[in-house]
Copies of this chain bind each other. A is one copy, B any other.
Amino acid sequence: MENLWKNNLRKIEPYVPGEQSKEQNIVKLNANENPYPPSPKAIEALNSFNCNSLRLYPDANASKLKQALADYYNVTPKNIFVGNGSDDVIAIAFQSFFNGKLPIVYPDLTYSFYPVWCSLFNIPYKTYPVGEDFRINPDDYKEANGGVVIPNPNAPTSIGEGLDFVEKIMNYNRDSVVIIDEAYVDFGGVSSVELTKKYENLLVTGTFSKSRSLAGLRLGFAIGSESLITVMEAVKNSYNSYTVDSLAMEMGTASILDREYFDSTCKKIIATRERVTKEMRSLGFTVLDSSANFIFATRDDLSIKDMFEYLKARKVFIRYFSLPRIDNYVRISIGTDEEMDIFLTELRGYLKK
């Protein structure tokens, strides 16, 4: 008779978020964060914000932010959805679009949150293995399914695909909604936003956390046909009408408007990535061609886990996944040139051991 209420508690495998060390003076290359600060115009927007207005609820429709995104991406505000980080946006997309009986499909190596949302929302799913070269084969996605999710560039592989790839996926999938998760696209990937005008069932998602250096603000968005966005708005308004706070809207808008700073920091990260890739290859590593703000690397004759632990002990944090197929790889976020020099120095130290 005791504690019968416990029977109705949600049974769920707790998802453990990535390790965030509180240590000082570490080189933090483990969360794909941007090493550069947000746009000075975004900071100025915060500094000139009328704090007294925080007593009022935010604009539930986020009109100003949607307009800035619409102008940037050459769509209309009705094609834009904004949320509390792209995790919030994609989770709402899953609830909005994946209500069929067939499993949704995505690559076996990809963002680890997809199966977590499937479990939370009781969505059946199936994965297709990426190739030996870690590339996604679009022909795998011919089979009837309940939906498709593909990050482009993919994580943790860092590989980006072109519009021909996305068009193939779209042509195979006229009967389900396709989500292209573009969290990393601004670092040299190719965006499918223009294709949302051609395919009513294509949703493209993005985030302010990577290329816009605003991970701490929680801001993400989706772009798609009005048919798709309307359903997402209905689901959002049934859950929490005010997901995006007033400060995030102001800073996000200013960040989108500051194209120059955005271009310059993305270019810096790309240049650093190319340099580090070259140096690691010269040290005997296999480094996949990256279109993201991180690289994915291995060296067959090393225990990469051991290398990861060595670097961690020396306060250089990179990301190791104890997962099938990639348990001898590491993911290294691209920091500043100075941070990457420390990383390379420690790496050379490990190799000389």
Contacts and interface: CB of A to CB of B under 8 A. Distances in A.
A240 B84 CA distance: 9
Q: How many of these chains are in the complex? A: 2
B241 A17 contact: yes
B54 A38 contact: yes
Interface of A: 3-10, 12-17, 20, 28, 31, 33-38, 42-43, 46-47, 49, 51-60, 84-85, 87-88, 91, 95-100, 116-117, 119-120, 146-147, 174-177, 200-201, 209, 213-218, 227, 231, 233-235, 237-248, 251
A327 B61 CA distance: 28
Given A120-B238, A238-B116, A240-B91, A35 B10 contact: no
A268 to B, nearest CB: 13
5 contacts: A7-B100, A12-B235, A37-B55, A116-B238, A120-B235
- A119, A238, A240: residue with the most chain B Cβ atoms closer than 10 Å: A240
B10 A96 contact: yes
A234 to B, nearest CB: 4
Nearest to A16: B237
A34 B17 CA distance: 35
Contact of A20 (B55, B59, B96, B98): B59
A123 B227 CA distance: 27
Given A96-B9, A120-B235, A33 B14 contact: no
Given A3-B201, A5-B97, A84-B84, 8 more contacts: A12-B238, A14-B237, A37-B52, A46-B247, A55-B216, A119-B238, A216-B246, A247-B248
B243 A117 contact: no
B245 A88 contact: no
Nearest to A213: B55
Contact of A5 (B84, B95, B176, B245): B176
Nearest to A214: B54
A319 to B, nearest CB: 13
A38 B35 CA distance: 32
A8 B177 contact: yes
B14 A54 contact: no
B234 A12 contact: yes
B243 A218 contact: yes
A190 to B, nearest CB: 24
